[in-house]
Chain A
Amino acid sequence: MSEGMGREQRCALLAEAEPDELIQLADACLGDGARLRVLVSPEVGCITAQVREPVAAERFLLGDVLACRAEVELAEQRGWAVRLGDDRAAVLAAAVLDAEAQAGRDRAADVDDLCRAVAERGHRQAEREWAELAPTIVEFEELT
């Protein structure tokens, strides 16, 4: 297993990665002819968003979010992925990358590098977003 990145963190970042970069790296991982078993074929479905509202701390079901999941076995390690949306190829690739990292195979470091790149991209997007939003902070004057 690769060092440094927790499995949940890796899954979260693979869920944010672009489909092309996932598929490209997954193809590279499988390039050595390793046997891949697809345990759960990519499946599109819903995740029900359960919310604990702040007034009475009661839970209610807000609605569903479209998602896709897959599970594979590679080098006797299971890889699992869920991504929002309906991109079956991307979620299958993410599951392959999860298994590659879990198994500590040759491309495990590349998977971690990809995750770090995704995290960095998210950080930059958040910076850009805030740079656009910050000028809209307002302080209305109070009439007395």
Chain B
Amino acid sequence: MGYSGARGGLAAILAAEDLVRRKRDHAPAPWASTEQITERFRLAVDRVMGEAGLYHEPTAAAALRQAEGDPLEAAHLVRAQRSTLPRLANSEPVDPDELIVLRRIVPAFREPDGPQLLGRTTDYTGRMLERPDGQPAPPDASPEPEPVERTDEQRQPRRFLDLLRKLDLVVDHRGENGDAEPHDITRVPARPPAARSAVLATMARAETGALVGLWYRSILGPDGDVHEVTLGEVRHGRLPLRIRHPHTGNPVTVGEFRVTEAEAIEDLDGAEEDRTKFDVGYGLCLGHNERKVIAMANLDIANRRFGRQGPLEQLLLLTTDGLDSGGFLEHLKLPHYVTFRSMVERKQAMRAAADAGMGPRVADPAGRDCR
């Protein structure tokens, strides 16, 4: 409590915490089970997993319940929990082309390879508030759905970027930077200038609203880092997680996890750029969070083009983490009596000096030596 210069109040603090527990855990309403939260509030659960950087639905659901539905506080709880866990392994590099799609749309092109699969969404229908009195009646009992023919192309469609490459319409960045070890932002904070792996990891874990806000600033704000806003592709689906088997040395799949992925297309128009081609930005995050990855994909390409010419890289690395920004903001609620008293005393001293005819203190111009 270096800022506060205060102590005591333990009984009141404990009483306040007890009030939270009693009102939350013993509200006159049915208990919100972990299953209730994961099944009915899946997008909130997914958001917490993404911003916490830990994929485990029951953990995120428990955090949401404890945080009384505050996703940022929930992400904080999960990240704190994660920090207590050992790292069992780094996965083998995951290939996003292996994604089994649950949803996949290609806004830029009507007939991509594979289907335009709407999946579970209300994107294309008007949304009106529904206030049912109780749980809606279950749908009519229908027989097991008839199997529908499916192909690998339908479940694992080729990405739109492949089509752009085939048409020679996109700058090819593969191999430009070798195969550098990725930056681990959980061990070493990312600071500018940073490798792209650090920026991508930072955005994947960023607070959704902060990332969307920065994306919108890049369009309408003073920086103008995002020009053409065309979305190549958005996907939600499952990826396999593989690690090395300790006895055989071969990769072994230990499960699947859901992610959301986006590709954003930028029309190159810079003097040094190949104006006959597009460039593509990439977004990927844990869970289902389309807003976040669309912003991330746009900001990825913007950062590669303009990140170090202006403030964008610094903004991405230093201001989008919800725990950083939220934590700093929240600490303002702690007692700052000493800090503020010293400010008051400075004002009073200046006033006393003025009253004594000494005039207000004027700062020396920059560059002038102290005497």
Binding site for B on A (CB under 8 A): 7-8, 11-12, 15-16, 43-67, 69, 71, 78, 80, 82-86, 126-134, 136-140, 142
B296 to chain A, nearest CB (A): 11
Complex A-B: 17 CB contacts under 8 Å: A7-B252, A8-B253, A12-B252, A45-B88, A47-B90, A49-B94, A50-B94, A53-B282, A55-B173, A55-B263, A55-B280, A63-B285, A63-B286, A66-B54, A82-B89, A126-B155, A140-B116
Binding site for A on B (CB under 8 A): 49-50, 53-56, 58-59, 82, 85-97, 102, 110-111, 115-120, 144-148, 150, 154-155, 159, 161, 173-177, 179-186, 196-198, 200-201, 204-205, 241, 243, 245-248, 250-257, 259, 263, 280-282, 284-286, 300
B59 contacts A80, CB within 8 Å?
Answer: no
Tell me, in angstroms, the Cα distance from A126 to B197 when the chains sit together.
33
Given contacts A11-B245, A53-B96, contact A61 B145 (CB under 8 A): no
Chain A CB count within 10 A is highest, among B110, B281, B282, for B282
A128 cross-chain contacts in B, Cβ below 8 A: 144-145
* Residue from A15, A59, A64, A85 in contact with B253 in the complex, judged by beta carbons closer than 8 Å: A15
A78 cross-chain contacts in B, Cβ below 8 A: 247
A139 to chain B, nearest CB (A): 7
Tell me, in angstroms, the Cα distance from A132 to B292 when the chains sit together.
26
A10 to chain B, nearest CB (A): 9
B245 contacts A55, CB within 8 Å?
Answer: no
B94 cross-chain contacts in A, Cβ below 8 A: 49-52, 62
A15 contacts B255, CB within 8 Å?
Answer: yes
A64 contacts B82, CB within 8 Å?
Answer: yes
Tell me, in angstroms, the Cα distance from A42 to B147 when the chains sit together.
39
B115 to chain A, nearest CB (A): 4
Tell me, in angstroms, the Cα distance from A130 to B151 when the chains sit together.
10
A140 contacts B110, CB within 8 Å?
Answer: yes
A136 cross-chain contacts in B, Cβ below 8 A: 117-120
Tell me, in angstroms, the Cα distance from A137 to B247 when the chains sit together.
43
A44 to chain B, nearest CB (A): 6
B116 contacts A139, CB within 8 Å?
Answer: yes
Tell me, in angstroms, the Cα distance from A92 to B49 when the chains sit together.
26
Given contacts A46-B82, A49-B241, contact A138 B96 (CB under 8 A): no
A50 cross-chain contacts in B, Cβ below 8 A: 90-94, 182
Given A8-B245, A52-B94, A62-B201, 10 further pairs, Cβ under 8 A? A52-B95, A55-B174, A58-B200, A61-B184, A62-B285, A63-B50, A63-B285, A82-B254, A84-B241, A84-B254
Q: Which 10 A-B pairs have the closest CB atoms?
A: A84-B255, A66-B56, A131-B145, A56-B173, A60-B197, A63-B53, A136-B118, A45-B88, A45-B86, A52-B93
B144 contacts A45, CB within 8 Å?
Answer: no
Tell me, in angstroms, the Cα distance from A69 to B85 when the chains sit together.
13
Tell me, in angstroms, the Cα distance from A130 to B184 when the chains sit together.
36
A59 contacts B254, CB within 8 Å?
Answer: no
B213 to chain A, nearest CB (A): 21
Q: Please, which residue of chain A has its CB at the minimum distance from the CB of B205?
A: A63
B147 contacts A61, CB within 8 Å?
Answer: no
A98 to chain B, nearest CB (A): 10
Tell me, in angstroms, the Cα distance from A57 to B300 when the chains sit together.
14
Tell me, in angstroms, the Cα distance from A62 to B286 when the chains sit together.
7
B198 cross-chain contacts in A, Cβ below 8 A: 60
* Residue from A8, A66, A86, A132 in contact with B251 in the complex, judged by beta carbons closer than 8 Å: A8
